[in-house]
Each structure stands twice: as structure tokens, then as C-alpha cells.
């Protein structure tokens, strides 16, 4: 066990998630580093990423990255220029090889635990204190004083890598945000994003049905991908990504195109070309459950006038789903909001006036769509904040240990 009071080091990192682990792996090459985390294991959220397979990054271009980062993209340019997905590949090589699934990158083993193991093996010289929650931060006599549930820690430099508020059971509970506000760090109100959507009138009979390729339209935006019906509304990658882009004014109408590659005329032709019911004809185009739900009527469709025929087509080409709210932090993939960017130097991630205080990862007011971008943000900002030029060199620890 580590001593639990007045421990000092060159650098204290708050949070052993993706960004904190990367920062520690950089800094511990030259400095005495203490890594603190309130959880009982490091990388708790990392282990859940990509359904346990860990979509570590995305190998698209910088411009495509910026298109997939609704908030904070420009701020991140400097971090990406210092450490991007090619650098991540080299960083993991040869211990951990990556493979592509489209542009998404995963470890070849498809195991998030291998990513965590990789970092822990590089942190042999780092003191990792688990079950150690930071409760306050202050500066005394030029040193940062970090009070925790297990004593006081002192250092010249502190990196806050405490994540956002999403999925608080992983330890990312937003507790650092009020601590930071108290010392004068400006915050943008945190909100859950990359979330499922709820409806007051969910299509409960379709609960569990996945459609691999639909287009959603709302508020002049369109997004294409896989959709999942749930007992409370809608989910799946296309819905989750849309939640990040849409304004939060409810009720909200989503228009779903179940057949994005077919024209309205082609759909109408198939629906009305035979004497069979609309539901039977629609089953040629979409799964049976959806066809039955969208076309319950049994009257003779050949009596239908032009307008009614078009409305039938629109049930497949522009189905209107009413959204009453979005899911909250308890199931959100990411947090938007957090440490406001104007007060942070983009090239070092140091606070402009609170010298020696750095930030990395999701605690910053940056967030991206799904696809490996959020973890790349954590790796890039962890790398940048973990550079050690600005802190004086001291004697390294002679032994490493993890205190639980
Ligand atoms: C289910 C799920 C799946 C995801 N899958 C992917 C994916 O496949 N690809 C992708 O790119 N992104 C994915 N994400 C998003 C990605 O996991 C996060 O963006 C990323 O983990 C953020 O890293 P971080 O280091 O900033 O924060 P976190 O990983 O949240 O780590 C913060 C750490 O700080 C600690 N902490 C917080 N407050 C305190 C305190 N007061 N004292 C001490 N310690 C504290 C926490 O215990 C935590 O360990 C997923 C998210 C979720 C929830």
C-alpha cells in the first residue's frame, strides 16, 4: 500500500481513463508521476468501449475528423498535429496491432482489456492510487495540493483527465467540475450526448428490431446508418449520432426514410403492383414486423386515390417519429460541455492563468460522433498534456506500485 498523506511527485494525473493513461505513459518516461482514480480499477470505461472490442480510433483524414466533431474541432487541431491515428498505430506497435473495420480501428484481438493491459505494462514506474477520489484542488507556495479521500498529494503540475458525467457507474461522475469551478476554471454546462431518444408513442411491437440502413432527417440535417427500435423509442448508431447534432427543443419530429436507395415512384410501384395487401407488398421491401406495423389496413388499395397512395409511400420514405426527450447521463456515451476552451492553450492544454494545471480528454468542452473519434481525442490530448518540458526534472521513483 502507498502512504496516504502528503505524497509528492512531479506530476499528478487525476483520472486513470484513456486520456490519463496516455498522459501517464508519456510523462512517466522522465518524471515522477502519481495517477489517482476514484474507481477500484483503472480504465473502467475503456473496458466497455466498442461493446468490449474498443474502437480505439478512426483512420480518416483530419478534415473528416473535423466534420465528425460538432464541438471543439478547431481547438483540437494542435493536439491532432502532435499525435494522430498514425502515431497511435506506431505507439501500439508491435505489442498491439490494429485492424480496420471500414475506417474504424480496433485491436486485432478485439479486446478492450488488451488496450488497458498495454498501458499498465508501460506504467511500471507510476504510482497508481485507486479508490482515491479527489475532493479539492488548490495552489500553495507554488505547488498544487490535491486533497483526496486518501490523503493529500503535492506536485508542480496537475493534469485533470477526469472525463465527463456520462455513465457515472464507471467513475466519470463529473465530481471534478465543481472542484474546478471553485478555483476559477470556467465551465460550459455539461449535457449528455450520443444518447437514445424517447417517444411518448413508441412503436412497442417493433422493440428489438434493427434496420441496418435508414436515413434520418430533422432540422435540415440528415444522417444515415443503423436504427434500433426500443420499448421507449429509438436508438442505434444513426439515432445516437443525430442526438449530438440536433437542438434540444421538444417535441422533435424525426423523419425516417426506411428505403434511402429507392425513389418514391419505385416504392409506389412495388406497393401497388399486385392485388396482395399493402402489408404483403411492403414485406418485399422491409422486415415483416415493420411492414405489418406500418400497413395495418385491409381495405381494397386499388380504390385509393393518388393522394392516399402517396401517403402510403411516405410511411416508408418519410415516417414521422415524435421524440419527447433524450436519454440522460446514466446511459450517455459522451458528455458535451465541460472545461471551457478559450481559457486553455490549445498547443499544450495548460490553463492560461492557472499555471501548471492541464486538461485532457472528455472533461474538456469537446465531443465527437461515434466511430473512434472520442477515444482518439482522449489519446491525442493525453499525449499533449503528458509532455514534460514545463516541469522540473526530479529523482524518479525507484519502485512502482498500485494502491487499491
Ligand atoms: C459504453 C461506452 C462505449 C464507448 N465506446 C467508444 C468507442 O468504442 N470508441 C470511442 O472512440 N469512444 C467510445 N466511448 C467514449 C469514450 O469511452 C470516452 O470518450 C473516453 O473514455 C474518455 O476518456 P477520458 O480519459 O477523458 O475519461 P474517462 O474514460 O471517463 O476516465 C475518467 C476517469 O477519471 C476518474 N475520476 C473522475 N472524477 C474523479 C475524481 N474526483 N477523483 C479521482 N478520479 C476521478 C474516473 O473514475 C475515470 O476513471 C464510449 C463510451 C461509453 C460510455
Please state, in angstroms and rounded to a whole number, the distance separating the CA atoms of residues 256 and 216: 5
Tell me, using a 6 A CB cutoff, whether residue 333 lines ligand 1: yes
Which residue is closest in CA terms to ligand 1's atom 8?
A: 50
- The percent of residues above 70 in pLDDT, for the chain, comes to 95
Q: Any idea which residue has 482514480 for its cell? A: 37
Q: What is the per-residue pLDDT for 400?
A: 42
> Is the Cβ atom of 147 under 6 angstroms away from ligand 1?
no
The closest-lying atom of ligand 1 relative to the alpha carbon of residue 382 is 25
Distance CA 318, CA 196 (A): 20
Q: How far is the CA of 45 from the centre of ligand 1 (A)?
A: 5
| Residue nearest to ligand 1 atom 30, measured at CA | 163
* Residue 366 pLDDT > 60: yes
> Measuring CA to CA, how many Å separate 2 from each of 6, 117, 147, 321, 404?
11, 21, 15, 55, 9
Mutate to test the pocket of ligand 1, among 23, 135, 333, 363 (most ligand atoms within 8 A of CB): 333
237 lines ligand 1 (CB under 6 A): no
Does ligand 1 have an atom closer than 6 angstroms to the CB of 191?
Answer: no
Average pLDDT, the chain: 94
Q: Looking at residue 299, what is its pLDDT? A: 74
Strands 325-326 and 197-198: antiparallel
CB 335 within 8 A of CB 170: no
| C-alpha span between 88 and 181 (Å, rounded) | 33
Which of 49, 364, 402 best tests ligand 1's pocket when mutated (most atoms within 8 Å of CB)? 49
Q: Comparing 253 with 302, which gets the higher pLDDT?
A: 253
Domains in the chain, ordered, with CATH? Answer: 7-191+335-403 (3.50.50.60), 197-326 (no CATH)
Q: Is pLDDT above 70 for 390? A: no
Greatest C-alpha distance within the chain: 88
- d(CA 335, CA 168) in angstroms, rounded, equals 11
Ligand 1 atom closest to 363 (CA) = 26
Q: Which residues contact 300 (CB under 8 A, 6 or more apart)?
A: none
Q: What is the DSSP string of 191-232?
A: EEES--EE-SS--GGGTT-EEEEEEEEETTEEEEEEEEE-SS
Q: What is the C-alpha separation between 341 and 364, in angstroms, rounded?
A: 7
Q: Relative to the CA of 20, which ligand 1 atom is closest?
A: 25
Q: Give the pLDDT confidence of 309-319 residue by residue, as tens digits.
A: 999 999 999 99
Residue 396 confidence (pLDDT)? 37
Minimum-distance ligand 1 atom for the alpha carbon of 42: 49
Please determine, for residue 17, whether its predicted confidence score (pLDDT) is greater than 90: yes
Q: Evaluate if residue 398 carries a pLDDT over 60.
A: no
| Residue from 12, 13, 16, 17 to probe ligand 1 pocket by mutation (most atoms less than 8 Å from CB) | 17
Q: Which of 222, 142, 139, 131 is nearest to 171 (CA)?
A: 131
Reply yes or no on whether the pLDDT at 244 is more than 50: yes
Rg (CA), the chain: 25
pLDDT in tens, 190-225: 999 999 999 999 999 999 999 999 999 998 999 999
Q: Nearest CA to 214 among 325, 368, 318?
A: 318
pLDDT digits (tens, 9 = 90+) for 24-75: 999 998 899 999 999 999 999 999 999 999 999 999 999 999 999 999 999 9
Quote the pTM value.
Answer: 0.93
CA of 262 to the centre of ligand 1 (A): 40
Query: How far away, in angstroms, is 333 Cα from ligand 1 center?
Result: 9
375 lines ligand 1 (CB under 6 A): yes
117 burial level (CB within 10 Å; 0-12, 13-18, 19+): middle
Specify the pLDDT at position 301: 81
Q: Tell me the CA–centroid distance for residue 46 and ligand 1, in Å.
A: 6
User: Quick check: 46 and 19 in contact, CB under 8 A?
Assistant: no
Share of the chain above pLDDT 90, in %: 90
What grid cell was written down for 308?
392516399
User: What is the structure's pLDDT at 402?
Assistant: 60
The alpha carbon of 99 and the centre of ligand 1 are apart by a number of angstroms equal to: 22
Q: Which of these, 241, 277, 208, 264, lies nearest to 372 by C-alpha position? A: 241
Say yes or no: CB of residue 380 within 6 Å of ligand 1: no
Question: By the 8 A CB rule, do 98 and 91 touch?
Answer: no
pLDDT score at 219:
87
- Check whether 397 has a pLDDT greater than 50: no
Angle at 327 between CA 382 and CA 238, to 5 degrees: 75
- CA angle at residue 353 from 352 to 359, to 5 degrees? 55
- Residue 180 beta carbon below 6 angstroms from any ligand 1 atom: no
Amino acid at each position: 500500500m502507498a502512504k496516504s498523506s502528503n505524497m509528492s511527485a512531479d506530476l499528478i494525473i487525476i483520472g486513470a481513463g484513456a486520456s490519463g493513461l496516455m498522459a501517464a505513459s508519456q510523462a512517466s518516461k522522465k518524471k515522477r508521476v502519481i495517477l489517482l482514480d476514484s474507481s477500484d480499477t483503472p480504465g473502467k470505461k475503456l473496458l466497455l468501449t466498442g461493446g468490449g472490442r474498443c474502437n480505439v480510433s478512426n483512420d480518416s483524414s483530419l478534415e473528416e475528423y473535423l466534420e465528425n466533431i460538432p464541438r471543439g474541432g478547431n481547438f483540437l487541431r494542435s493536439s491532432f498535429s502532435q499525435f494522430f491515428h498514425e502515431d497511435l498505430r506506431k505507439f501500439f506497435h508491435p505489442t498491439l496491432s490494429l485492424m480496420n473495420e471500414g475506417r474504424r480501428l480496433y485491436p486485432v484481438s478485439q479486446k478492450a482489456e488488451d488496450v488497458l493491459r498495454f498501458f499498465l505494462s508501460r506504467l511500471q514506474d507510476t504510482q497508481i492510487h485507486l479508490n482515491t477520489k479527489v475532493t479539492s484542488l488548490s495552489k500553495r507556495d507554488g505547488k498544487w495540493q490535491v486533497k483526496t479521500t486518501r490523503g493529500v498529494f503535492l506536485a508542480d503540475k496537475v493534469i485533470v483527465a477526469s472525463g465527463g458525467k456520462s455513465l457515472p457507474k464507471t467513475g466519470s461522475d463529473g465530481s471534478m467540475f465543481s472542484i474546478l469551478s471553485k478555483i476559477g476554471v470556467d465551465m460550459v454546462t455539461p449535457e449528455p450526448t450520443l444518447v437514445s431518444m424517447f417517444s411518448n408513442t413508441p412503436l412497442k411491437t417493433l422493440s428489438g428490431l434493427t434496420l441496418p440502413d435508414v436515413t434520418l432527417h430533422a432540422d435540415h440535417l440528415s444522417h444515415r446508418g443503423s436504427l434500433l427500435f426500443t420499448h421507449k423509442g429509438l436508438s442505434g448508431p444513426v439515432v445516437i449520432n443525430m442526438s449530438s447534432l440536433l437542438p434540444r427543443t421538444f417535441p422533435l419530429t424525426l423523419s425516417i426514410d426506411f428505403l434511402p436507395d429507392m425513389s418514391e415512384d419505385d416504392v409506389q410501384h412495388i406497393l401497388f403492383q399486385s392485388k396482395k395487401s399493402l402489408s404483403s407488398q411492403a414485406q418485399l421491401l422491409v422486415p415483416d414486423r415493420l411492414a405489418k406495423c406500418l400497413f395495418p389496413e385491409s381495405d381494397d388499395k386499388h380504390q385509393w386515390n393518388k393522394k392516399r397512395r402517396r401517403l402510403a409511400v411516405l410511411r416508408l420514405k418519410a415516417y414521422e417519429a415524435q421524440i419527447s426527450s433524450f436519454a440522460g447521463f446514466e446511459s450517455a456515451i459522451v458528455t458535451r460541455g465541460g472545461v471551457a476552451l478559450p481559457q486553455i492553450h490549445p498547443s499544450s492544454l495548460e490553463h492560461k492563468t492557472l499555471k501548471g494545471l492541464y486538461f485532457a480528454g472528455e472533461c474538456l468542452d469537446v465531443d465527437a460522433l461515434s466511430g473512434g473519434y472520442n477515444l482518439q481525442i482522449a489519446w491525442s490530448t493525453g499525449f499533449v498534456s503528458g509532455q514534460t518540458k514545463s516541469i522540473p526534472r526530479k529523482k524518479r521513483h525507484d519502485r512502482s506500485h498500485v494502491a487499491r
